[in-house]
Amino acid sequence: MSSFKQIIRKCLLKVPFNISKNIEYDKLTLAIMDKVLKADAVCIDVGCHKGEVLEEMIKRAPKGRFFAFEPIPEFYAFLKQNFTDENCKLFNCALGVKEGTSDFNYVKSNPAYSGLKKREYKSQNEEIEKLTVEVKRLDDLIPSTIKIDFIKIDVEGGELDVLGGAVQLIKRDKPIVVFEFGLGASDYYGTKPVDIYNLLCKECGLFIYTLKDWKTNGSYLDQKEFEDQYFNRINYYFIAAPI
């Protein structure tokens, strides 16, 4: 199921050095999943794309259950063709704080930058196709009888809306949440670090760490430290977890 780019990425994950921040984050995410995912873990992949992270979840939790969300129709079709296990449930929708429909910016020239709102792009000449997608809430889709262990969120700025639609789930299950959150994306949604901090830490009872600090049993970030990480572009991937 691997494309050429996926094969290259898998090779880069095996080398002992990091050629980019994204590769470093990918390695740390895999190490975190190695640490926390039991064989029967229940996982959610938000912004599944072509299933690179979903595939790694399944490897680590062969007896688990998986819920994966991808709003771009052609990527959803790819997932349907390649992830056929009955324990892997796929959804062709975006996630947000309220149910409905929304415009979606499919960046065909750089799909990883696709999202509900336009964001900062590498090029001013990106090819963007406007789609209309369904938007649903995690709290409405995941039965309360299913305990969620791990959530990965990569939605190019829409993190707060995804989390806002999953407050009851997060409060109830206290899952590990790995999420992207950085300038150039979230600020186009009007989201500030304090918004994420208040929801995850004050409302849901989790603690925010850098990926590296959590992996090495380092300390969690207070609000000011989280803001410094964001505004100074020190890190743009984080983990929220119970102590």
User: For residue 124, what pLDDT is reported?
Assistant: 87
Q: What is the DSSP letter of 103?
A: E
Main-chain dihedrals φ then ψ at residue 119, nearest 5 degrees:
-135, -175
Write down the mean pLDDT value for the chain.
Answer: 93
User: What does DSSP say about strands 94-95 and 128-136: parallel, antiparallel, or unpaired?
Assistant: parallel
The per-residue DSSP string of 71-106 comes to -SHHHHHHHHHH---TTEEEE-SEE-SS-EEEEEEE
Could you give the CA distance from residue 47 to residue 67 in angstroms, rounded to a whole number?
Answer: 11
User: For residue 185, what pLDDT is reported?
Assistant: 97
Helix (H/G/I), strand (E/B), else coil: 193: helix
> Which parts of 73-197 fold into alpha helices (H)?
73-82, 138-141, 159-164, 167-173, 193-197
Structure-model confidence comparison of residues 184 and 16, the more confident one: 184
User: For residue 5, what pLDDT is reported?
Assistant: 52
Q: What is the DSSP letter of 50?
A: T
User: For residue 63, what pLDDT is reported?
Assistant: 97
Quick check: 1 pLDDT over 50?
A: no
Could you give the CA distance from residue 66 to residue 149 in angstroms, rounded to a whole number?
Answer: 10
Could you give the CA distance from residue 224 to residue 48 in angstroms, rounded to a whole number?
Answer: 31
Could you give the CA distance from residue 109 to residue 70 in angstroms, rounded to a whole number?
Answer: 18
Structural domains of the chain ordered from first start: 4-92+146-241 (3.40.50.150)
User: For residue 161, what pLDDT is reported?
Assistant: 98
Could you give the CA distance from residue 207 to residue 156 in angstroms, rounded to a whole number?
Answer: 22
The pTM score is 0.92
Quick check: 153 pLDDT over 90?
A: yes
User: For residue 4, what pLDDT is reported?
Assistant: 43
Q: How confident is the model at residue 21 (pLDDT cuts 50, 70, 90)?
A: confident
What mean pLDDT do residues 174-188 have? 97
Quick check: 12 pLDDT over 50?
A: no
What mean pLDDT do residues 50-60 have? 96
The per-residue DSSP string of 196-220 comes to HHIIIIIIT--EEEEHHHHHTT-PP
The per-residue DSSP string of 53-65 comes to HHHHHHHH-TT-E
Q: Which pair of structure tokens corresponds to residue 206?
A: 């989790």
How does pLDDT run across 71-82, given as a tens digit for each residue? 999 999 999 999
User: For residue 16, what pLDDT is reported?
Assistant: 55
Quick check: 9 pLDDT over 90?
A: no
User: For residue 10, what pLDDT is reported?
Assistant: 54
What mean pLDDT do residues 4-22 have? 54
